[in-house]
Amino acid sequence: MKTPRLYLGYLAPLASLASMYPVTGFLLLLLAAVASYKLRAFPTSLVVAVATCGVLDLLVARFFLKRKGFRFPSSGLISGTIIGSIAPMNAPIVAVMVAAAVAIASKYVIRLKGHHIFNPATLGLLVSLWLFGLSEVWWAASPIVWVAGFAVPLTLLLIVANYQAGKLSISLPFLVATAILYAATQFIAVPFTAAGLLTFFGSLPFYFAFIMLSEPKTSPNAPREQLIFGISVAVLVFALEYAHAKYPFFIALLAANLAYSLYRSRIFSKERQGRE
């Protein structure tokens, strides 16, 4: 029996996950290393989050999924790196561990039609930061380099991992829509000069766009759906920021994850009915 074309459209980009994870992990750790050096602070939250997510991922694979042998917990380690890079560097250890536990558990408990619904790191961060009354810091997204006298955010390097994941059709429309909304409303007001425009460009949420928004298993793979997903999240993030809501990026992304999961399950159900 031939595999329906619809399923190929959804599943083909997942073939690149094996090569995407090492690149993503390396770039995330590079950003964290540079940021911690510039801040002159040891990233305790990062170490705790990575260790907790890695161990929990292995335990789930061994005792819940009953997998034999060792499977390197690439996905769990990346979730831990994201959590540790956004939570405060000096956050209580228990808060970081709660974020990690929620992130890993969500992949196996909160599912629909065989797929986990929410971006694990985002859900873990939202739950833990809210419970402990903490704010997101995004400290690993701040380091910059100076090229020809201009500041360039290192988070632009994450476009490499985003490209390998086949998600540029999400991140780039998101960034363009965000830039338009910020500029049109003067939400970020800068002088209309070369330096001002570069400052504006550097303030865009590249870390969120290239890593969290584009998480492979909770975001669309079809180009048209990616475009809609990216722009929709941009509009929702801006609306939440404009309303001074707390955790606007987390809430917007999780809402989009849920909407896409419901849409995907409906499409798959229709496809199965058509084959019966």
pLDDT at 127 over 60: yes
- pLDDT tens by residue, 183-239: 888 877 777 776 677 777 888 999 999 999 999 889 999 999 999 999 999 999 999
> Tell me, what's the pLDDT at 111?
87
> Tell me, what's the pLDDT at 250?
98
Radius of gyration of the chain (CA): 19
> Tell me, what's the pLDDT at 14?
44
pLDDT confidence bin for 16, thresholds 50/70/90: low
Query: What are the backbone angles phi and psi of residue 144, rounded to the nearest 5°?
Result: -130, 160
- Give the integer Cα–Cα distance in Å for 53 and 100: 5
Residue (of 104, 100, 98, 97) closest to 64 by Cα position = 104
Indicate the angle between helix axes 248-275 and 223-242, nearest 10 degrees: 150
- pLDDT tens by residue, 150-181: 778 899 999 999 998 899 999 999 999 999 99
Q: Of the given ranges (2-11, 54-63, 164-173), which has the lowest mean pLDDT? A: 2-11
Distances from the Cα of 275 to the Cαs of 2, 3, 222, in angstroms? Answer: 11, 11, 21
Distances from the Cα of 216 to the Cαs of 11, 48, 134, in angstroms? Answer: 10, 24, 27
> Tell me, what's the pLDDT at 268?
54
Give the mean model confidence (pLDDT) for residues 129-147. 90
